[in-house]
Structure 1
Amino acid sequence: MFKKPKDCLGAVLPDAESIYIQRYLDFFPEDSLAGMKVGLYEHSGVGRDILFTVLSSLGADVVRLGRSDAFVPVDTEAIRQQDIEQATTWVGQYGLDAIVSTDGDADRPLVGDEKGEWLRGDVAGVLCAEYLGVAHLVTPVSSNSVVEKCRLFQSVTRTQIGSPYVIAGMQQAASSESGIVAGYEANGGFLLQTRVVASGGQLDALPTRDAVIVIVSLLVSAWGRSRKVSELAAALPSRYTASDRVKQFATDKSRQCINRLFSEDKGYDEIEAEFGSLCGNVKSVDLTDGLRITFSNNEIVHLRPSGNAPEFRCYNEADSPSRVTELNSACMQIIQGWR
């Protein structure tokens, strides 16, 4: 039998929704999306009506799509094939300039371009930070290295995976650096540690995952410069990521595999024996969270036990979509052989 919950929560703030919406309408220029046709994939997302209000209030012609009263499992890091195909269909059917959505609880964004191709969250995070004029950026070690290669930021700090680590990193940066401090995760959730003042508007700090700021920043950035959303991403260095996981792989077993591959006294021999035929010689390793290996060809294999499930995760990075898909598939086969 469940215990009766204690009445320890504060009173409901009925104005919270309107305050949150006004936060963005006060910051972004009036009618900054006027004439832009945006598809809003609503599914069962709790923020769908808020997003519609924000986008339409900024002048966008919003086409509401795929609304559902039943839960739809949208994952911004593992986009379902039907959502990939549906986005492509919708942009052609309705002549959309972009398509946007969130995960179910609306703290992780999805931004798709005029071709219906969804941007990876760690690319959207970089573009959002660029638009906001962020000086010091914090992101987990698993995020795309485009954040360093683009050279848009005064400093980039890498952390363990998880928003608490990003928040701690932002707090440290804000205490020692001047300028705007923000962070993002590979899932696209964006965290703002310090206030942003631009174009006569002000955006107060919100150091928790937010999806709306990413969506609106990318749309305004593209539309305000008469560019396509795809052109924003294309302007960044060509780095692509892919990830997958082996389920029912005990955490202790995962750690044993990583320890077998590398320790300070044994060097890179074991790593190269497993992955050398794929990527060549090891250039460096990072032990911030799991084992992140950078090879001489600048490809990355990042191995990590899941923090909340018996799963072994593998993140990869390469210079082309086809190569990173091939690399991730090959790595997953190797990991399957360790079970």
Structure 2
Amino acid sequence: MDSQLVCSEVIAKSGIVFGTSGARGLVKDFTPNVNAAFALAFISAIDNEFNFDTVAIAIDNRPSSYAIAQACAEALKQHGLNVVYYGVVPTPALAYKAMQDNMPCIMVTGSHIPFDRNGLKFYRPDGEITKVDELTILASNAVFTVLPENLAELTLDTAVSESYIQRYTSLFSADTLKGKKIGIYEHSSAGRDIYKSLFEQLGAEVVSLGRSNEFVPIDTEAVSDEDKQRARDWSKEYNFDAIFSTDGDGDRPLVADENGNWLRGDILGLLCSQLLNIEALAVPVSCNTAIEKSASFKQVKRTKIGSPYVIAEFASLAESYTSVAGFEANGGYLLGSNIEYNGKLLTALPTRDALLPVLVVLADNETIFGQLSKLPQRITASDRLENFAQEKSIKIINDLKKGASNFLSTLCIEHKHKIDLTDGVRILIENDDIIHIRMSGNAPELRCYSESSSLEQAHKLLYSSLCLLKSKSFIKDSYEK
């Protein structure tokens, strides 16, 4: 008799955990049986709510992603399900197609984290899984047979790209971007074979940039100095109206204005929401306060960081408002309700999308820099301490929750302050400056965000905070308390 394994037991021993967006871990921990356990546990968690016989799977360009997809497919077939494999496509493209076809899907991606790590994102037929679903997956007692050593090759279906492109070509006219010159920083993005074609179909002149055969971990919340300089150089060389890129799985946009300066993702989301005439927003607590200060929305609900928390607010907001959306500091845009735009219906897509915000902003007659100049001048900055032990992060966060006076005093900040514990520790200083410290939900990192009325002050707050957080004396003090 073939050996049987219980999903929850396999997952518990794997070292892989759910973060702010899916299950993440080291590639070496995503063994075939672990992948099978997650896939089957996901299906078991939603089996009683939906009627389906097929599950969709897609991947990003990480070297490890295809093998993970093979294992997931094998487990699903054991369960009597059909599997449709869409290959390398953006996460929102997979989610959109699966929702159209009323079936669940699994995206194999580690998003922006390094290639020695990977992850799994799960989507019900009606959108992203919830935090409750995550707990159900982790506790699943579903049983599967140990996977064979040699897994079957997957047959590629190419329908996703066409569906995703059609969502936007049907929304905009063919000359929407006529006269605009746009650079596409392709690197290893899962959507790199889609974007050029789409932008050209909308009338733009497009130049492909920086395509890489190696996986590039682009983090839209912590753009490298090298990529900042690249954008400025490209803009100067080609005289672009904008440069567009995404993270690894294409659900977080990265957009540079006509001067080659990358926009913060939450600022892009704010511009998009204004142009879409959104009434109510749900955004994570880390987003720029220019959202409220712009006075553009009837309600702004602040949440914990992570798309599931943003999505969880959509239902209650929809009870009072006809147009609902959300976005994150990383730029991922979530459309929480159907809306009318350009006299056409744009259906809800309650998962992070990189294309909608950039297309809406580029379709406006005003330049990106011109649009930015009309916003309240609130500058945010963010960075992280990488390979920072979780135990250190926990102790630092717990210490700051008890009081931030010593932390601020060490930074020579004597103003009164308040603390927001929605997610991590967000220190609201009386002079309107903000320092926000939290643990990463999917990597051994301690993240820091700052906000001020000037770029110089925002960066000063950020880097002085990071220097203090990683100092041995501060960590020692935190441990002793």
TM-score (norm: length of structure 2): 0.65
Residue 29 (1) aligns with residue 173 (2): yes
Q: Matches of 2:453 and 2:399 in 1, distance apart?
A: 28
Partner in structure 1 of residue 445 of structure 2: 311
Q: Matches of 2:231 and 2:387 in 1, distance apart?
A: 32
Given that residues 159 and 288 in structure 1 are in contact (C-alpha distance below 8 angstroms), is that contact kept between their aligned partners in structure 2?
yes
Q: Matches of 2:278 and 2:348 in 1, distance apart?
A: 12
Given that residues 184 and 209 in structure 2 are in contact (C-alpha distance below 8 angstroms), is that contact kept between their aligned partners in structure 1?
yes
- Identity rate, percent: 43
Partner in structure 1 of residue 189 of structure 2: 45
Question: Within 5 Å, which residues of 2 pair with 1:180-329?
Answer: 180-221=323-364, 225=365, 227-263=366-402, 270-276=403-409, 278-329=412-463
Q: Matches of 1:178 and 1:324 in 2, distance apart?
A: 34
Q: Deviations over 1:43-66 (max 9, x none)?
A: 111212221122111111111222
What code does the residue aligned with 1:272 have? Answer: S
1:252, distance to aligned residue in structure 2 (A) = 4.1
What code does the residue aligned with 1:77 have? Answer: E
Q: Matches of 2:160 and 2:230 in 1, distance apart?
A: 33
Q: Matches of 2:275 and 2:161 in 1, distance apart?
A: 25
Please, which moves more after superposition, 282-291 or 316-325? 282-291
Q: Matches of 1:137 and 1:279 in 2, distance apart?
A: 32
Q: Matches of 1:247 and 1:43 in 2, distance apart?
A: 22
Q: Matches of 1:67 and 1:220 in 2, distance apart?
A: 25
Question: Within 5 Å, which residues of 2 pair with 1:72-87?
Answer: 72-87=216-231
Q: Matches of 1:310 and 1:46 in 2, distance apart?
A: 24
Please, which moves more after superposition, 98-107 or 303-312? 303-312
Q: Matches of 1:285 and 1:261 in 2, distance apart?
A: 9
SS for the counterpart of 2:404 is helix
With over 3 angstroms needed to count, the CA separation of the structure-2 counterparts of 1:253 and 1:46, relative to structure 1, is: closer
Structure 2 residue runs without a partner (length 5+)? 1-30, 34-70, 86-156, 476-481
Partner in structure 2 of residue 95 of structure 1: 239
TM-score (norm: length of structure 1): 0.91
With over 3 angstroms needed to count, the CA separation of the structure-2 counterparts of 1:238 and 1:10, relative to structure 1, is: same
Q: Deviations over 1:201-225 (max 9, x none)?
A: 221110011001111111112xxx2
Higher CA-based Rg: 2
Given that residues 378 and 454 in structure 2 are in contact (C-alpha distance below 8 angstroms), is that contact kept between their aligned partners in structure 1?
yes
1:258, distance to aligned residue in structure 2 (A) = 3.2
Given that residues 280 and 297 in structure 1 are in contact (C-alpha distance below 8 angstroms), is that contact kept between their aligned partners in structure 2?
no
Structure 1 residue runs without a partner (length 5+)? 264-269
Q: Matches of 2:391 and 2:213 in 1, distance apart?
A: 40
Equivalent of residue 334 in structure 1, options 460, 463, 468: 468
Partner in structure 2 of residue 58 of structure 1: 202
SS for the counterpart of 1:52 is helix
Given that residues 301 and 315 in structure 1 are in contact (C-alpha distance below 8 angstroms), is that contact kept between their aligned partners in structure 2?
yes
Q: Matches of 2:198 and 2:413 in 1, distance apart?
A: 46
Given that residues 243 and 315 in structure 1 are in contact (C-alpha distance below 8 angstroms), is that contact kept between their aligned partners in structure 2?
yes
Q: Deviations over 1:175-215 (max 9, x none)?
A: x2222111111110001111111222221110011001111
1:9, distance to aligned residue in structure 2 (A) = 5.0
1:33, distance to aligned residue in structure 2 (A) = 0.9
Q: Matches of 1:168 and 1:153 in 2, distance apart?
A: 19
1:248, distance to aligned residue in structure 2 (A) = 4.4
State the aligned residue count: 328
Q: Matches of 1:11 and 1:261 in 2, distance apart?
A: 48
SS for the counterpart of 2:266 is helix
Given that residues 242 and 257 in structure 2 are in contact (C-alpha distance below 8 angstroms), is that contact kept between their aligned partners in structure 1?
yes
Q: Deviations over 1:244-294 (max 9, x none)?
A: 22344443443333333344xxxxxx4223214544323422111111111
Q: Matches of 2:279 and 2:428 in 1, distance apart?
A: 26
Equivalent of residue 322 in structure 2, options 159, 174, 179: 179
Q: Matches of 1:325 and 1:184 in 2, distance apart?
A: 23
SS for the counterpart of 1:161 is coil
